[in-house]
Structure 1
Amino acid sequence: MNLLLTGSTSGIGLETLKALYPHFDRFILPVRNMEKAQRLASQFPKTEKLDWVEMDLSSMKSVQNAGSYIKENYSEIHVVINNAGGMFPAGKKTDDGFDMTFAVNHLGHFFLFKLVENALFKGKAKIINVSSEAHRIASFNTEDPSLKKSGNTFSAYCQAKLYNILFTKELKRRFSEQGISSFSLHPGAVKTAFGSETDPISKMIIRATQLFFISAKKGAQTSIFLAKIPSKELKNGAYYVRKKPKSSNSASSDPENARALWEYSEECLANLGLL
């Protein structure tokens, strides 16, 4: 069994990797910092199980290169955990011209799916997207789906977390008959380095409230649960909190929003000549 996990070098991603290490034969690990990844490899008894792949979710060219490598080397992928993400200053742009929060939390993972979808179909993959309860204060803005006009760091992050759920639901709608199952989750308010790249005010608020946050190990538990439990015992397309399905907000439950986000994401990539 092959598992693809983003954001595996710190926080809940690393805890997820540690917990699932005995349960999978091979781990495909796209990471931004290869040096950090290779230092972490010494924590695992069989480093040959870990395939570190350089990938920066903010760069669609980097995602394309990583996807090409994965496609060439893996004919089947059985579980995907899209764990990487972050909160970034409002207005911060990628080299491709996208809002950083939109690219890292949604578009990069969307593009990676498109690149390796044949291996996912062959492996009848389970796709797990790490979202957040922060999605509840977001709505789907058809005038600015890529968040370019968002002037608020936290608001943009909340919308990106809404996108994780919409992506999950559209995956179910489009591909459940081909054996794909998809799930989103809230890991809890986790005490990690999250928010380290955001603006000073948001960073101060995050640090001030971290006294009440849970450990990364606890925060990883729902991701681990979803990866280990057979898909037939889970609710396809559902949003999970503390290992149980929970209703998400109305914007995330609107199939037209999910369809619109998917089509807009394809348009973004097509405009770069990538689709």
Structure 2
Amino acid sequence: MNLVLTGSTSGIGWETLKALLPHFDHVFLPVRNLEKAKKMIHPLTEKHKIQLIPMDLSLMKSVQEGVQHILKSTDKVHVLINNAGGMYPGGKLTEEKLDLTFATNHLGHFLLTLELLPLLKNGQAKIINVSSEAHRLAASLNSDWGLRKAGNTINAYGKVKLYNILFTKELKRRYEDQGIQAYALHPGAVKTAFGSETSLIAKAIIRATQLLFISPKAGANTSIFLAMSPKDQLKNGGYFDKKKPKTPAAIALDPKPAEELWNYSLKTLQDLRPDSSE
């Protein structure tokens, strides 16, 4: 079986990689820092299974270029784990003039998933999106899908974590009949370097609550569980916490914003690159 895992060089992504590596034949790791990734995987006994893919998920051009390496290397992906993410200051833009929180936590994974769809269909794949209970902070949605007006770090992060669940629901709706299943999950409040690039207020909140945080290894448990469990034992489109289904916020169950987010994401990609995936 083949695995694609983002965000593998830190936190729960690293723990997820170590746990899943023995169970897959080939593991593709999109990474932003290639040298760091090479050093990290060097001690792994099964590193021969790993193919590092240069990719910055905040830049759609980089995602498009990186995914070509995967497309040339295999015709099937059995599990895709969209794990990478981050919390950034509100209003911080990428080189492509996208909000950094929106690009890194949603649009990069959206594009990666769409570009891999032929392989995911061939592999009758599971798509696992790492969300968060922070999605409940997004009490409402408006037309500012791209977070152009979101100046509050915490609010912006809550919205993109809600996007992860809406994306999961829409994947189920569109591709369930083609053998693909999608899940979202809350990994728990994990003690990592997460939030190191965000605002002073957000950093203070994170530090104040860190004593209650769990280890990255514990935080990886639900991702590992979803990757390894038989599909017929999992709820397609479900949101999971501590390896069990959990009801997300009511807005996450509404099919209308899920479709609107999908359409906005496609339009954004098309505006960046007219021949982008549909």
Q: CA deviation at 1:140?
A: 4.8
| Counterpart in the other structure of 1:235 | 235
| Counterpart in the other structure of 2:101 | 101
| Counterpart in the other structure of 2:244 | 244
Q: TM-score, normalised by structure 2?
A: 0.97
Q: Is the 1:121–1:179 Cα contact (8 Å) retained in structure 2?
A: yes
| Counterpart in the other structure of 1:38 | 38
Q: CA deviation at 1:46?
A: 2.5
Q: Is the 1:140–1:257 Cα contact (8 Å) retained in structure 2?
A: no
Q: Which amino acid is 1:51 matched to? A: Q
Q: Which amino acid is 1:222 matched to? A: T
**What is the CA–CA distance in structure 2 between the aligned matches of 1:176 and 1:260, rounded to whole Å?**
19
Which SS does the other structure have where 1:185 is aligned? strand
Q: TM-score, normalised by structure 1?
A: 0.98
| Counterpart in the other structure of 2:206 | 206
**What is the CA–CA distance in structure 1 between the aligned matches of 2:271 and 2:260, rounded to whole Å?**
16
Which SS does the other structure have where 1:43 is aligned? coil
- Residue correspondence of structure 1 range 1-275 to structure 2 within 5 A: 1-273=1-273, 274-275=275-276
Alignment RMSD: 0.9
Q: Is the 1:88–1:100 Cα contact (8 Å) retained in structure 2?
A: yes
Q: Deviations over 1:42-82 (max 9, x none)?
A: 22112220111011011110000011111121200000110
**What is the CA–CA distance in structure 1 between the aligned matches of 2:264 and 2:74, rounded to whole Å?**
28
**What is the CA–CA distance in structure 1 between the aligned matches of 2:247 and 2:43, rounded to whole Å?**
38
Query: What residue ranges of structure 1 are gaps of 5+ in the alignment?
Result: none
Q: Which amino acid is 1:135 matched to? A: H
**What is the CA–CA distance in structure 2 between the aligned matches of 1:200 and 1:247, rounded to whole Å?**
32
**What is the CA–CA distance in structure 1 between the aligned matches of 2:47 and 2:18, rounded to whole Å?**
12
**What is the CA–CA distance in structure 2 between the aligned matches of 1:216 and 1:67, rounded to whole Å?**
27
Q: CA deviation at 1:201?
A: 1.8
Which SS does the other structure have where 2:91 is aligned? coil
Q: Which amino acid is 1:255 matched to? A: P
Q: CA deviation at 1:139?
A: 3.9
Q: Deviations over 1:79-118 (max 9, x none)?
A: 0110000000000001111110000000000001111110
**What is the CA–CA distance in structure 2 between the aligned matches of 1:4 and 1:252, rounded to whole Å?**
25
Q: CA deviation at 1:250?
A: 1.1
Query: What residue ranges of structure 2 are gaps of 5+ in the alignment?
Result: none
**What is the CA–CA distance in structure 2 between the aligned matches of 1:213 and 1:43, rounded to whole Å?**
28
Runs of 4 or more, structure 1, over 6 Å off, are none
Q: Which amino acid is 1:17 matched to? A: L
Q: Deviations over 1:149-187 (max 9, x none)?
A: 001000000000000000000000000000000000000
